[in-house]
Amino acid sequence: MASPIGVAIVGASGYAARELIQILLKHPGVKITTATSRQDEAPRLDALHPSLAKRIDLTCETFDADRIAEKAAFAFLALPHTASMAVVPALRERNVKVIDLSADYRLTDPQVYEDWYGHAHTDVAGLGSAVYGLPELFRDRIPTAGLIANPGCYTSTSILALAPLVAENLIERTGVVIDAKSGVSGAGRSPKLTTHFPECNESFSAYSVGRHRHTPEIDQILTTVAAGQGEAVEVIFTPHLVPMDRGIFATIYAVPRQAAVEHDLLDLYRSFYADSPFVRVVNHLPATKDSAYTNYCDLTVRVVRGRIVVLACLDNLIKGASGVAVQNLNLMLGCPEETALI
């Protein structure tokens, strides 16, 4: 086997970075050669993440584009939004390919970005070149991309659940209800009251009703999927917090244009995802636990009193973040899509 390709982890202290490192450690084609952290002292990776003890011997550095370009052909950015677009241009100038796990390059219209994120976009040129990294829909464009906008976790779940219906123009395009539920790791690693154990444990709650930032991302990609079919897709998206570590579950309600038949819909989904190794169209009602710690998205469809109900789930840190990032890497490397992911 050829010598492994160097990859950099930019922003190593969070959960997505930790998962990413664990996956990449199993990848025969790459080697993590450098990692950065904004923490003052230069922590070892296994000090940030004790679960990495004995598995990787690397000390975080502060970000330096030259140094990354010297050591890595690919950089994974696990940074907060706005921090990504501050470093992407320097990396791209140095020909480092970038897989960005933040939201900075997902929304193609910089005004929409500003409306939802409250900051002007500072790399509009980069935005134009980014490819949305959902392999199940954009598998053809990913291999040659220089900058991947890795999708949001709620977004992937929702889009994978709705794409077949939208692509086939089977449902009303407005008023699609996405009732979504997430484990707490989706809220990141910074302690705050809402994610303090005695507050969110043994509790179920809604948050950001009507104003969650994954809303325009879902609208945009589904509208793309529906291309040429008239009005834009507009979803009613409601996120909730579930007292568990990981997993996203979306229950989606859509109004069919014509009377829907359950087994026809299941056939459609199976056909649509026939070449997608990580989507499992199941007959039973899915549970997040069956997809936890894997790169699978499990989904099924039901017809209830004339409405189409899609139920989909995945692991927010893997298929919803770091696993799909490696899936994108695999496509860019030209190696099997499943590498390090099964």
Least distance to its own copies, CB of residue 284, Å:
7
Question: Among residues 149 and 301, whose Cβ is nearest to its own copies?
Answer: 301
Contacts (Cβ under 8 Å, ≥6 apart) of 255: 171, 172, 175, 307, 308
Shortest spacing between CB 215 and its own copies, in angstroms: 9
DSSP β-bridge partners for residue 153: none
Q: Of residues 60, 153, 200, 297, which has the active-site annotation?
A: 153
CA 229, 233, 239 angle in degrees (round to 5)?
160
For its own copies, which is the closer residue by CB, 5 or 255? 255
What is the smallest separation between the CB atom of 142 and its own copies, expressed in angstroms?
22
- Looking at the Cβ atoms of 123 and 315, the one nearer to its own copies is 315
The question of whether 153 is a catalytic residue gets the answer: yes
Q: What is the Cα–Cα distance from 3 to 118, expressed in whole angstroms? A: 44
State which residue, 47 or 69, has the beta carbon closest to its own copies.
Answer: 47
Looking up tokens 């134009």 gives: 128
**What are the distances in angstroms from CA 226 to CA 127, 164, 265, 269, 311?**
22, 10, 17, 16, 20
Residue 90 and residue 93: Cα distance in Å, rounded?
5
Minimum gap (Å) between residue 278 Cβ and its own copies: 9
Amino acid, res. 286: P
Catalytic residues: 153
